Amino acid sequence: MQSYGGTPGARQARCTRQILWAEELGMCFGVRDALRVLGEIARPAEVTIHGELVHNPEVLRALDRRGFHRSPEATRGVPATPVVLVTAHGISDRERARLAAAGKTLVDTTCPLVRTVHAAARQLAAEGRRVIVVGRRGHVEVRGITEDLRDPIVLEAPGEARPWPEPRLGIVCQSTTPPALALEVVAAVRATNPGTDVRFVDTICSPTRARLAAVQALLPHIDMLVVVGGAASNNTRQLALAAAARSVRAVHVETAADLDPATLAGAERIGLTAGTSTLPATVDAVAARLAAFAAARAPTAART
């Protein structure tokens, strides 16, 4: 873990509050690559982003300012622009074919690790298995996976498992599923279908694993956790839930402006982490604001 105190004076134990960074946090390579592709587009006004590129309001506002169009994830209209950009969350092959049939040029920024989930689900279906997706029902990534499957099942929690008549089942995960939750759901499916051939393909992405593991390592050393990322981001939400599961207070903010000094009351060691769609500049701004709060509460003599 990394310790951050802001100004040089704050780093020299001149204030009682300590800020500890998780070893792994923030933007993953899939989001970074998608943003790089968007940065290379010369005529944004000719491009419609098919849903939210990432669940991060700061990023979306920046794209709006550049002139990109956006179509809501829940709709299935045909964009007016000649070019449609597929987001990092991916879409189904069925949806790709529909857009191509409408004459649209597709720019595909689907994360390679999301493609892995799609491929695993297709393979399980090809083996004659009914496919179960562990993930958030209605999430754009889950929707992209299930639209290409026949009679898929989506499970959000182990309590949703029940007996199914099929002799063979296959299980994949939304890429940002917490590993512990995935194992619980798989165990529940097997317990409720004891005579069934159940094959589990672990499709949780490595950035999700790394960020969750880093938070778990940080929790014994902190009084509270500040999680930076979009309110609708599944992987960011899971970081906050990991803290709550260990009875560590968590504060989820989208930007530094969301931080309230009163919220930090009573916390002397504050952990800092961020979701995979959070800009590095946003994390730095939150860290700087936390350091400023720490310096402001240091004894006057220590700051002279």
Cβ atoms of residues 141 and 114 within 8 Å: yes
Residues 229/277, Cβ–Cβ less than 8 Å:
yes
Candidate list 24, 95, 141, 254, residue with the active-site label = 141
CA of residue 224 relative to chain centroid, distance: 21
- CA distance linking residue 187 with residue 189, whole number of Å: 6
The yes-or-no answer on residue 141 being catalytic is yes
35: left (phi over 0), alpha (psi -120 to 50) or beta: alpha
Three-class DSSP category at 37: helix
Residues 6+ apart with CB under 8 A from 62: none
Helices (H), the chain: 8-11, 29-39, 57-66, 93-101, 112-126, 140-146, 179-192, 206-218, 234-245, 280-296
Q: What residues act catalytically?
A: 141
